[in-house]
């Protein structure tokens, strides 16, 4: 049986209209499909340039990627440069990804998180 080619892939998680000081949760934020997804980069940006902190984890194996929510600008500045993970993370097929985001700014805003990598 021939090995399937790797396919570049991006999952986007949107936190729409999060009020100032509020935290939004998504579980599952992403349901991985029938092929494993290997995450190599993370990017995040807010539409109105408010500060957000966020956290993501692989819910299937309960692996959190941060010890606490991190500021999105610390990860990818204004969304222009994705953060390269020190080690790629493989989400198994049909696994779930959890995400939460807190609007640390002074007005309602939307945060977009991109999980960048490839399908195996």
Per-residue pLDDT of 67-85, as tens digits, reads 999 999 888 876 678 999 9
Top-tier CATH class for 13-119: mainly beta
- As a whole number of Å, the CA-based R_g of the chain is 14
Average per-residue pLDDT in the chain?
A: 92
Could you give the CA distance from residue 15 to residue 24 in angstroms, rounded to a whole number? 7
Give me the pLDDT at residue 89, please.
Answer: 96
> pTM of this prediction?
0.91
Q: What is the pLDDT of residues 27-68, one digit of tens each?
A: 888 999 999 999 999 999 999 989 999 999 999 998 888 899
């Amino acid at each position: 049986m021939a090995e399937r080619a790797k396919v570049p892939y991006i999952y986007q998680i949107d936190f729409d209209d999060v009020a100032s000081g509020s935290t939004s949760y998504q579980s599952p934020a992403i349901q991985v499909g029938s092929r494993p997804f290997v995450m190599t980069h993370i990017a995040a940006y807010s539409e109105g340039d408010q500060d957000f902190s966020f956290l993501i984890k692989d819910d299937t194996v309960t692996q959190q990627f941060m010890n606490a929510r991190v500021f999105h600008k610390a990860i990818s500045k204004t969304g222009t440069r994705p953060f390269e993970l020190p080690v790629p993370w493989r989400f198994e097929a049909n696994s779930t990804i959890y995400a939460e985001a807190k609007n640390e700014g002074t007005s309602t805003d939307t945060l977009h998180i991109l999980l960048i990598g490839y399908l195996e």
